[in-house]
Structure 1
Amino acid sequence: MAFCTLIIVQLLNIFNMTKRQTSFLFNGVIKNPWVWGAIVLSITITVLAYSVPSISLVPLNWVELQWPILFGSGSLVLSHILKKMGFAQ
């Protein structure tokens, strides 16, 4: 579960690169097709890693996968809240 959380946090961390003055939905990072391609490629590699038996990763069911998604997106939301409050750049 920690491995999956780390992957999600790292994939969502790219969206923290925006400046405080820019909108979350309308910025250069969101519009960059290379960012989306890298995210899709990373998710594909992760899914393939789970399917290889010799790597021996324990697959997570949907209930277990909700925690990494919650913590990963929570860090993104917290970062943007801190930016809007003026505590981060």
Structure 2
Amino acid sequence: MADEEDHALVADGETPTEFALMANNENKVFDNSLYSKECRKNTESLNNKIDELKIDIEDLKNDLDEANAYRHSYKLGRDDLEVRIAKYKEREV
């Protein structure tokens, strides 16, 4: 009797639809698995890039601090030199 019902389903065209749905669902599970691995890989890659950029930012901050210290020293030296030049010019006159 069960065989007769199965044959009836095939005759009605329902079985191919069921198989198609099953195949489709299996592919989605497989694709989701691959998608999850790709997402994990991409997330790790992006996190590594973020970490590298954080290190670069710290290096740039240190470089900026060093450049500001040099600039400050330069300004002090320039100001001192301008004072000396002004005194020298006063003596000439």
TM-score (norm 1): 0.31
Name which structure has the greater RCO, CA cutoff 8 Å, separation 6+. 1
TM-score (norm 2): 0.30
Larger Rg: 2
